[in-house]
Chains A and B, each alone.
Chain A
Amino acid sequence: MRGNIISILVLSVVILLIAISGFSPIFEIGGLNPLIPVDLADHLRGYDITCSGYFGTVWYQYVGLIMIASTVLFYAIQYHIIDKPTFNQKHHLWIMIAFCMGFNFFIAFIFPYNSLQSGDYCKDLNFSVFNCAGFAFTNSVLCFVFYSLLTSLTIPRKLSRNCSHTTLLTP
């Protein structure tokens, strides 16, 4: 019960933040995330190629939405589509999370890396492949957090027949 309340509170704060400010505060952790330097953050916020303002593609938004959608999809695959007694243990959930994190790492890496390789970014901004990997890592960690929150909630989980008790720690 307490776990449910904490998860709902955290999710509510996250949704509120996204609604007000988009995904940037989530990825940047209010500017405290050392893995996303300011220049990369500007690029991801949509600083355009002519360096005239934030008129370009807002990568945070794309990556964030894909992260949420893919996490929900991976969750649904295990809990509601496969929903098997042979695939409902905690290590199965960890496997699914690992795949989801891998997928989100790839997605978050590929967008800024592609911009970097093709030169499709403001040249005043200075970021590297390593910074792209940092962003990808952040995205996969956020995927893990979101997946954990989602599976800690009783309500959607209880709709599953065989995985209704499957969390990171049980069974």
Chain B
Amino acid sequence: MTKPRLYIFAIGGTGSRVLKSLTMLLAAGIKPEGETEFEIIPIVIDPHKSNEDLKRTDELILNYQAITREIGFDNGFFSTELSTPDKILKTKTKALGSFTFNLQQVAKKEFKDYIDLANLNEPNKALANILFSGKSINKRGEQIDLLDIEMDIGFVGNPNIGSVVLNQFKDSDEFKEFASNFNEADRIFIISSIFGGTGAAGFPTILKNIRDAMNNKNIDGKGFLQNAKIGAITVLPYFNIEKETDSPIQKSDFIAKTKAALSYYKDNVTGNNLVNALYYIADNYTGKAYKNDPGDGGQKNDAHFIELASALAIINFLEISDDALQTDEGSATCPIYREFSIKRDSTEIKFEDLEIGSEKKISLKLSQLSLFKKFIDEHLKSSKEKQAWSMDAPAIDDKFLSQTFYKTYLSDFLNAYGFWLAEMDLNRRGFSPFALKTKEELEVYIDNKSEEIQPFNPKSLTTFIKDKEVKQGWFKKTVDYSFFDDCLSKEAKGKNYNTAQAKFVKLFFETTKHILTSKFGFQS
């Protein structure tokens, strides 16, 4: 029996970053509670192809896929199937990677050409000039009219433009194939921010096109799509941005834009129950300011705790039973609205600052993946071909470490995980449950992207998690790498593993779980 699917539409830069956080959570083995396992199919919708956040997410998911292709889904870490849309979509028109929805006619095109302004009759031209009046900037930072905006850097905080361009979604081949493959048990989740351009415009547009599927003559499977179980997270302002007078993106506009969008949602999204479960998330803490980059600089923002919390909304959505997500003629019968909170208003969030549900969901598994990375960074070279767990067949030896699985896929993924942790640690509000290096060292680490420098403070394993004290006593073994090796050898003893790749991942998942529950006081 095939698994039901969750289609995630990640819109704009925030969509990519939340998707990145979700991938990290899935890699750590965090999955929804319940019997139904979902296959997750992310689809990124972003006209800004050179967006660094999008590129990083795309690369991360491709590495995740490459890892699971070799080890399967039964090894603790990487235990959720993350598929590319091309598994179901036959259209091969994707411009970047395999997860990106190709927005036709956006590249190197100005908005006025997209709407064919020159050929409109005078009344329509006048209407377009009113609707799209205002100023923006181009890739070179020069001030231009809104109608002259080059859309391959995104919609630069202009949802009025985004809504026009993204409306092509319903006529795309990808949407038609998605619709014809959509089954009754499948679900949809839409990630968007409300205070920018792409996300604010994309969310209601995509939602409307899905719910209006009955009126779309070009697609099959309309019934399933019209009554699909749809969840969404709308990310309200959560980060600070550098003040630049020439930039079209101003922090002062965030709240006004949010209010306007919420007012629109009230009538057109929540007001008519289009969504089965809608999650709101925001943070009014004025922390570290991001570089004011309208898009031409690559828009590479540091990972933020809000994105991690937003990814948890997706996990939460999958835990809601089908009965609670009933839809009748495109309208949710009992819509659910949720927000996210933390227990303590801390600027550097640790596990104990989270509400108990969130803590229970992520603390052990994230610590396991971090411990796995820490071991690889600090001790694997000393253990390989020396310790019993490494020498037992199938061996974790130099040959294994030189193979693409370890050298490229896993190492690249875990390096990205390290940067993700470091970025969240440095951000304000920060998420820093682990003892990482000093602020200065982390900044060098993030800037250099060197594999030789690692994010964790190498001092000791016992102080590796900030708010967890290792149980120690006269007759208790010290928690060090010798203990770690001992636990690995104990875990590996007598076990049969099909491949070295599966052994490496599963062995570390089981061992880190044992160490963290027996020594750090985590509950499994």
- Contact across chains for B482 and A161 when beta carbons are under 8 A apart: no
How far apart sit A54 and B173, CA to CA, in the bound complex (Å)?
Answer: 102
Interface residues of A, count at CB 8 A? 13
Interface residues of A (CB under 8 A from B): 84-86, 88-89, 160-165, 170-171
How far apart sit A113 and B327, CA to CA, in the bound complex (Å)?
Answer: 98
- Contact across chains for A85 and B489 when beta carbons are under 8 A apart: yes
Task: Write the chain A residue with the least CB distance to B382.
Answer: A85
**B403 CB to nearest chain A CB (Å):** 20
Answer whether residue B113 sits at the interface, using C-beta atoms and an 8 A cutoff.
no
- Contact across chains for A161 and B489 when beta carbons are under 8 A apart: yes
How far apart sit A24 and B385, CA to CA, in the bound complex (Å)?
Answer: 42
Within 8 Å CB of A84, what residues of B? 482, 486
Which stretch of B49-57, B189-197, B215-223, B386-394 is in the interface? B386-394
With A85-B482, A86-B482, A171-B391 as given contacts, are A162 and B385 in contact (CB-CB < 8 Å)? no
On chain B, which size bracket covers the interface? 10 to 19
The contact of A165 among B388, B482, B485, by CB within 8 Å, is B388
Within 8 Å CB of A162, what residues of B? 387-388, 485-486, 489
Task: Write the chain B residue with the least CB distance to A87.
Answer: B482
Sample (7) of A-B pairs whose CB atoms are under 8 Å apart: A85-B387, A86-B482, A161-B388, A162-B388, A164-B493, A165-B392, A171-B385
Residues of B75-127 whose CB lies within 8 A of A: none
How far apart sit A25 and B482, CA to CA, in the bound complex (Å)?
Answer: 45
Within 8 Å CB of B388, what residues of A? 85, 88, 160-165
How far apart sit A58 and B27, CA to CA, in the bound complex (Å)?
Answer: 69
Within 8 Å CB of A161, what residues of B? 388, 486, 489-490, 493
How far apart sit A160 and B486, CA to CA, in the bound complex (Å)?
Answer: 11
Within 8 Å CB of B489, what residues of A? 85, 161-162, 164
How far apart sit A111 and B157, CA to CA, in the bound complex (Å)?
Answer: 95
- Contact across chains for A171 and B485 when beta carbons are under 8 A apart: no
With A89-B386, A171-B385, A171-B386 as given contacts, are A165 and B391 in contact (CB-CB < 8 Å)? yes
Q: C-beta contact mask, B351-391 vs A, less than 8 Å → 1, else 0?
A: 00000000000000000000000000000000101111001
Given A84-B482, A84-B486, A171-B385, 16 other A-B contacts at CB below 8 A? A85-B387, A85-B388, A85-B486, A85-B489, A89-B386, A161-B388, A161-B489, A161-B490, A163-B388, A164-B391, A164-B489, A164-B493, A165-B388, A165-B391, A165-B392, A170-B391
Q: Which of B388, B391, B482, B486 has the most CB of A within 10 A?
A: B388
Task: Write the chain A residue with the least CB distance to B492.
Answer: A161
- Contact across chains for A85 and B392 when beta carbons are under 8 A apart: no
Task: Write the chain B residue with the least CB distance to A165.
Answer: B391
How far apart sit A145 and B192, CA to CA, in the bound complex (Å)?
Answer: 73
Task: Write the chain B residue with the least CB distance to A164.
Answer: B388
- Contact across chains for B485 and A85 when beta carbons are under 8 A apart: yes
Within 8 Å CB of B392, what residues of A? 164-165
Within 8 Å CB of A85, what residues of B? 383, 387-388, 482, 485-486, 489
**B340 CB to nearest chain A CB (Å):** 42
Within 8 Å CB of B485, what residues of A? 85, 162
How far apart sit A86 and B485, CA to CA, in the bound complex (Å)?
Answer: 9
Task: Write the chain B residue with the least CB distance to A158.
Answer: B493
Within 8 Å CB of A164, what residues of B? 388, 391-392, 489, 493
